[in-house]
Structure 1
Amino acid sequence: MQNLLNQHVDCFHPKILVEKVRSGKRTQRLEPLFAGYLFIKLKPGEQNWNKLRSTRGILRIVGFGNTPATIDQTVIDQINARLASVTTQGGLKSGQAVELDDGPFKGLNAIFQCYDGDERAVVLINFMQKHQRLKVPITSLTLAN
């Protein structure tokens, strides 16, 4: 991307904060939203695609035949807005619906309550007409549909 910036090409490489569990520790890091892709914006009337094709680090330009694909600016604005929303929300929030995808309660829906250390979470499941608190590994939770 730096090579494009050196040529004064307007680039957009959206990244998102991803939370993963590695070696039993919950870590966060920025990862590309669209791995291997970035968006560029050319100035009106500028169609020098050959300059871009020969830029170090660019494998190819996504397109149809010899015509590069175009994306409306409103789509880029929506991606930016949604990225900002995800960034402010962070990880799981109390009250969010989750699904257990591991262990004896696999497939059950639950309500996320809070994190319990680096590896576990407290959730509520509806069991025998009552809400029951469970401590489960964070890795066994996914957002419910």
Structure 2
Amino acid sequence: MQGWYLLYCKGKQEATAKMHLEQRQIACFLPETEVERLKGGKRVKELQPLFPNYLFVRFDPHITPIRSIRSVPGVSSLVKTDGQITPVETSLVVSLRQRDVASSSMRDLPEVGDRVRILEGPFAELEAVYAEPDGETRSMLLLQLLGKQQRLSMDNLSFGRL
């Protein structure tokens, strides 16, 4: 019976697997989200898989042999439940397709001087000031501690705008 199934792909090979499957006339869906990263000190928006290493494919296992799916470049295996491939609820795929994942999940970095709240770690719930990017995934924050302003490097996901 035709349905949506979940593929596990080799590391960062989702797009390769999708391209080869679509060449074989197999419908694919790769949910992506737009993220803002720092590259060379500049903010760059790029698309990344919402579920890294996973790809949804629509086929009928009674018509399309499973080995022809598994042999596609970039594919590691089909996801199984109790040793059997199981279709994913169509409503899940439909809702993922309808949702504007790119705009709702984008991570905006604050501007220099913006106030932020630390979300995790030993300084959780404290306020700080965004100072500057510190590599691709970290930022420098200015934190008032013991009457002095301290510079603190934190992961970009560990703080949020006020």
Fold shared by both chains (TM-score > 0.5): yes
Q: RMSD in angstroms over aligned alpha carbons?
A: 4.3
Q: Distance in 2 between matches of 1:61 and 1:80?
A: 21
Q: Secondary structure at the match of 1:38?
A: strand
Q: Percent identity?
A: 21
Partner Cα separation in structure 2 for residue 85 and residue 56 of structure 1: 27
- After TM superposition, list the pairs within 5 Å mapping 1:45-60 onto structure 2: 46-60=63-77
Q: Measured at CA, do residues 57 and 88 of structure 1 come closer, stay the same or move farther in structure 2, by a change above 3 Å? A: closer
Cα separation, 2, equivalents of 1:93 and 1:25 = 11
Taking structure 1 as reference, are residues 140 and 40 closer, same or farther at Cα in structure 2, changes over 3 Å only?
closer
Provide the residue aligned with 2:91 in structure 1: 74
Q: Deviations over 1:65-107 (max 9, x none)?
A: 552132111101222233x15426744499xxx63259xxx32
Paired residue type of 1:87? S
Q: Which residue of 2 aligns with 1:42?
A: 59
Q: TM-score when scaled to structure 2?
A: 0.55
Question: How many angstroms apart in 2 are the aligned matches of 1:56 and 1:140?
Answer: 33
1:12-23 aligned at under 5 Å gives the runs 12-23=29-40
Q: Say whether the 8 Å CA contact 2:33–2:49 is kept in structure 1.
A: yes
Question: Which stretches in structure 1 are left out of the alignment for 5+ residues?
Answer: 121-135
Shift of 1:14: 1.2
List gaps (5 residues or longer) in structure 2. 1-17, 111-115, 134-138, 140-151
| In 1: Cα distance, 2:101 partner to 2:31 partner | 13
Q: Give me the whole-angstrom Cα distance separating, in 1, the residues matched to 2:109 and 2:40.
A: 23
Q: Deviations over 1:43-69 (max 9, x none)?
A: 595352122122232211111355213
Aligned with 1:99 (options 117, 120, 134): 117
| Normalised TM-score (structure 1) | 0.60
